[in-house]
């Protein structure tokens, strides 16, 4: 009978160890946040730009990403291919499942709902983004009192 020796490190499969997270925002729950819902329904390019800027840690400006998305969507109807890569990045960041379907298909079928879900997910997980939280305000301190010394 062999006995397992616990003094040696045990090999662990990281994929089995990591649990899959859950989406905080539901795909069809757009009306849960009316301002984001209206933004993504009437101007999805801005919503996509906001998601892209946040997930790129500010390296891509919101307006630049919005313009690229709008041009791609307007000329080729392929803006969803640009924005679905950021959905994948969001899923990887929070270990979220590919639901309701793969990222590219989600954006192809209903990109306003997908972008709305992504914005609501970012809002729920990070409160200090685009006025979502109260801690976006910066405080300005006046300079200390200055005295001229004439010695």
pLDDT value, residue 107: 87
Distance, C-alpha 26 to centroid of its chain: 14
Listed residue (75, 76, 86, 90) closest to 48, CA to CA:
86
Average pLDDT, the chain: 79
Question: Mean pLDDT over residues 103-118, rounded?
Answer: 90
Kindly state the tokens that stand for 92. Answer: 């990887």
pLDDT value, residue 9: 47
- Provide the pLDDT confidence category of residue 142 given band limits of 50, 70 and 90: low
Sign of the alpha-carbon torsion through 118, 124, 128, 130: positive
Q: Which residues of 85-97 are buried (b: 16+ CB within 10 A; e: fewer)?
A: ebbeebbeeeebe
For 7-41, the pLDDT digits (tens) are 544 444 444 445 668 888 888 888 889 999 999 99
> 6 near 81, Cβ under 8 Å?
no
Q: How many Å apart are CA 35 and CA 126, to the nearest integer?
A: 17
**43 has a pLDDT exceeding 80:** yes
pLDDT value, residue 21: 80
pLDDT value, residue 143: 61
pLDDT value, residue 51: 93
118 φ/ψ angles, rounded to the nearest 5 degrees: -65, -45
Sequence spans of domains, the chain: 42-127
């Amino acid at each position: 009978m062999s006995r397992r020796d616990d003094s040696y490190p045990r090999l662990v499969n990281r994929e089995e160890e990591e649990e899959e997270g859950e989406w905080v925002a539901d795909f069809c729950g757009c009306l849960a946040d009316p301002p984001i819902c209206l933004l993504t329904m009437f101007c999805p390019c801005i919503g996509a730009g906001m998601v892209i800027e946040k997930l790129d840690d500010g390296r891509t400006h919101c307006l630049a990403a919005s313009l690229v998305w709008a041009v791609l969507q307007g000329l080729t109807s392929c803006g969803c291919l640009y924005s679905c890569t950021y959905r994948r990045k969001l899923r990887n960041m929070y270990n979220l499942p590919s639901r309701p379907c793969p990222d590219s298909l989600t954006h192809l079928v209903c990109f306003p709902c997908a972008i709305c879900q992504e914005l609501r997910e970012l809002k729920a997980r990070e409160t200090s983004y685009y006025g979502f939280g109260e801690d976006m305000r910066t405080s300005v301190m006046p300079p200390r009192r200055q005295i001229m010394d004439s010695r």
